[in-house]
Chain A
């Protein structure tokens, strides 16, 4: 069967319904692995900022991980901060610039491991910021070590036989902890492993930012992302691995909403 040429726009009347460049994106070239879920999450974040018309007010505080590359790639004011500290840094930013749309972008290594107290305290205080955790259960940027969110049985460089509760304990579901705190007003957990979950995750991000701009309180969106490299799976298997191995430990959905 012949293939349709796909190197240029159609020559019959048509509307462009999706662009190959996200809003506020300075470059589409990133060096993250094939099949990585982070760039999908980046796109959703930038689309939400743009659709809510927050470009001239958004300030991002970004931790350390493969996702840090967004600081180069997106046309947004950014502060790249110390591992785990983003919710505290974002608190300082927001208290001084209360009109700004202040968000953090962190991985599970950054938030669940190094920075667990920062996010819990910020949520406890009800800081009017939006924290975003990209959770793939692994320290990807440093080569694939275990984090506090690595699921039982998951193989990593520091749990070669799979995470074993007897030796390594159990993963920590950050969104569930934060949802328990009265200071948090919006807590959701999404995923980017299929078009449906991607659409829902975008709604979660949008709701979190809306509530921040209403001054309602602390919001957290945890986003499960694929890391086929860190998971030792072929890229097409990433989405199923996420659903089969991660979602049972980290159930998706809105945990708390205003």
Chain B
């Protein structure tokens, strides 16, 4: 088991996303990954894992105004069960 601290979160406007994937490397804690599903326009979109730091890098780089970013008043600690091959 390991603990991930999450300091914030995002609201993702899935239908606005055009699947450019610029947010993925921009995310400093690396908690965004592209979906396998597609939105109504046929684009894959970002999904969020625990560990967001509310750094707003995703918001900064996104050309389609997809992200709203929230910073928690109090960080949240989450216990994560390690699985084989887990990167945590």
Contact = CB atoms under 8 A, between A and B. Distances in A.
Given A8-B11, A10-B9, A238-B22, A39 B70 contact: no
Interface residues of B, number: 47
Interface stretch (A30-38, A79-87, A124-132, A210-218): A30-38
Contacts of A18: 56, 59, 67-69
Interface centre among A29, A40, A228 (most CB of B within 10 A): A40
B18 A34 contact: yes
Question: DSSP majority for the A interface?
Answer: loop
A21 B65 contact: yes
Contacts of B14: 7
Interface in A15-32: 15-22, 25, 28-30, 32
B14 to A, nearest CB: 8
Contact of B56 (A13, A17, A40): A17
Contacts of A238: 20, 22
B20 A10 contact: no
Interface of A: 1, 3-4, 6-10, 12-22, 25, 28-30, 32-40, 43, 192, 194-195, 198-199, 228, 235-236, 238-239
Nearest to B66: A20
Given A20-B65, A236-B25, A198 B9 contact: no
Question: DSSP majority for the B interface?
Answer: mixed
Interface string B41-63: 00100011110101111011111
Given A4-B49, A8-B11, A239-B22, A14 B65 contact: no
Contacts of B50: 1, 4
Contact of B68 (A19, A34, A35, A38): A19
A60 B25 CA distance: 33
A7 B67 CA distance: 10
B73 interface: yes
Contacts of B24: 236
A17 B60 contact: no
A235 B48 contact: no
A21 B64 CA distance: 10
B39 to A, nearest CB: 12
A195 B72 CA distance: 21
A6 B69 contact: no
